[in-house]
Amino acid sequence: MKADDPIATLGPQAARQLLPGFLAATVVPERAPEVRQAMEELLAQTGEEELSAALEALSRAGEAYERYPADPFARRLSRLYMACLVRPDSSVQGLEHLQQAAALGPVLLLGNHRSYVDTQLTDLLIARQDPALADRLLAVAGPKVYADTFRRIAAIGLNTLKTAQSISVASEQALSSGREVARIAAQTVRQAEERMLAGDAVLLYAEGTRSRDGRLGPFLRGASRYARLPGLRVLPVALQGSEQVYPIDSPVLHPARVRLSIAPAFLAEGLDRDALLQRAHEELRRLLGE
């Protein structure tokens, strides 16, 4: 159990009292009453057993380098919370490309990374049009995703696959041993391949870290290791506005317009590592207007 996680250590009754206020304090004051009310209503509809299961998932999140399936209660909470921050003019374009590709075989999404809430926003926007497809998203996540209570609450509402952060973009939280990072990375790739073959759409942020200036950074060459399955389709996915929802220098989240753009899929087969990453990178730059 996470020793610094006050909510995970609580029982369901105490969590009902603490959680609405805790989450309301993570948004700008003008949105806090809406968040608090939404959380109170959700908790009123949630039984003790389901809430206990979510607290157990919270206590275990990030303990090992493995897949963590979304907790049902936490998934509803995540989408409800983010809906309080996503403005009505937010949009999704190109969802049909993902729907078509996901019906044909293994799928890898390569996205840009601007904010800690990128995956939550992507999940919400897709879920509004195709909940079953959103439920199949699996995000490859570094150690920071599980770093504190707020991020772990977000993480257990998503399907995540924990991996080690690349040494080339490592923070002080990352592992120091290059050999250990390589071992975990290979393990993560194997698990991602298994999940893609099982029908999950794996979401990978190939930059390896958040952009500090909002522009698309270079891709890590190791990202191509996720694209080796026969018949795998790659879809560049551009998210804009997430950096306004949760700016790097802000302690709270803000309401903003968010746009998700999904490019047509292309087959990874026949492309070498550099060509694959270059094609995805160029397509993302086009979607982002860079």
Token pair for 4: 């610094």
Strands (E), the chain: 67-68, 91-93, 107-111, 137-141, 160-162, 201-205, 233-240, 259-262, 266-267
Taking alpha carbons only, the member of 60, 48, 109, 144 closest to residue 268 is: 109
Does residue 162 have a pLDDT over 50?
Answer: yes
| Average pLDDT score, the chain | 93
- Angstrom distance (rounded) from CA 281 to CA 267: 15
- The pLDDT-based confidence of 179 (bands split at 50, 70, 90) is confident
Does residue 15 have a pLDDT over 80?
Answer: yes
Distances (CA, A) of 162 to 138, 155, 158, 159, 179: 10, 10, 12, 10, 17
Give the pairing of strands 137-141 and 233-240: unpaired
Taking domain 64-288, whether its CATH number is 3.40.1130.10 is answered by yes
Taking alpha carbons only, the member of 271, 76, 105 closest to residue 197 is: 105
pLDDT for 9 equals: 80
- Contacts (Cβ under 8 Å, ≥6 apart) of 53: 71, 73
- Angstrom distance (rounded) from CA 106 to CA 227: 9
Q: Residue 234: helix, strand or coil by DSSP?
A: strand
Taking alpha carbons only, the member of 160, 162, 157 closest to residue 53 is: 157
Max mean pLDDT among 44-48, 171-175, 180-184 falls in 44-48
- Range with lowest mean pLDDT among 7-21, 152-166, 172-186, 242-256: 172-186
pLDDT for 167 equals: 57
- The pLDDT-based confidence of 172 (bands split at 50, 70, 90) is very low
pLDDT for 171 equals: 53
- Angstrom distance (rounded) from CA 139 to CA 241: 19
The CA-CA-CA angle for residues 230, 234, 237, to 5°, reads 160
Give the amino acid at 29: P
- Between helix 72-83 and helix 32-44 the angle, nearest 10°, is 150
- The pLDDT-based confidence of 178 (bands split at 50, 70, 90) is confident
The owner of tokens 């073959």 is 197
Give the amino acid at 166: S
What is the percent of the chain where pLDDT is above 90? 87
pLDDT for 1 equals: 40
Taking alpha carbons only, the member of 269, 238, 74 closest to residue 154 is: 74
What is the percent of the chain where pLDDT is above 70? 94
Q: What mean pLDDT comes out for the span 92-113?
A: 98
pTM score, two decimals?
Answer: 0.93
pLDDT for 58 equals: 95
